[in-house]
Amino acid sequence: MIVCVAVVGHQNNPLYIQSFTDADDALKLHHIVHCSLDVIEERVNNPKRSGTTLNEAFLGLLYPTVNYKVYGYLTNTKVKFILVTTDLDVRDTDVRSFFRKFHAAYVDAVSNPFHVPGKKITSRTFAQTVSNIVGSYGLN
């Protein structure tokens, strides 16, 4: 089950954070998202010598904590998507297709002429689309 998704801009400024679980965990989830930014930086700056392609957008599992797994995705414009999930067995294809749909929703939200780049995404449509994507995650 997905508990949190976040969009972080290229200066590590949060653009969108949404948690899908009870309110008391929200701060902890924000903290987890914040820590994962360091992992992303480190992954991007020191490319792994083994198999993983240097330039792929999907970064894979960033780091597992006690209850959560954190997945990352870095776009060409240095915008980072973070996904926090509590699932024990997570299929790679599910996460990849989640990020693909999420990226499409993000692009639509940013193309809004009233959106100021660098500020938080306030579009209700985006929030609705994200909830739909989260809802349909792993169902197929």
Residue ranges binding another protein (CB under 8 A): 10, 53-57, 74-79, 103-104, 106-107, 110-111, 113, 117
Q: How many CA atoms lie within 13 A of 96 on its CB side?
A: 8
If the CB atoms of residues 37 and 79 are measured against another protein, the closer one turns out to be: 79
Q: How far is the CB of 112 from another protein (least distance, A)?
A: 8
Q: How far is the CB of 25 from another protein (least distance, A)?
A: 31
Q: How far is the CB of 117 from another protein (least distance, A)?
A: 6
CA–CA gap between residue 103 and residue 74 (Å, rounded): 10
Give the bridge partners for 140, in sequence order: none
If the CB atoms of residues 29 and 74 are measured against another protein, the closer one turns out to be: 74
Indicate if the alpha-carbon torsion angle 37, 41, 42, 47 is positive or negative: positive
CA–CA gap between residue 57 and residue 74 (Å, rounded): 5
| Residue 14 backbone dihedrals phi, psi, to 5 degrees | -75, 130
If the CB atoms of residues 69 and 103 are measured against another protein, the closer one turns out to be: 103
Q: How far is the CB of 73 from another protein (least distance, A)?
A: 11
If the CB atoms of residues 50 and 55 are measured against another protein, the closer one turns out to be: 55
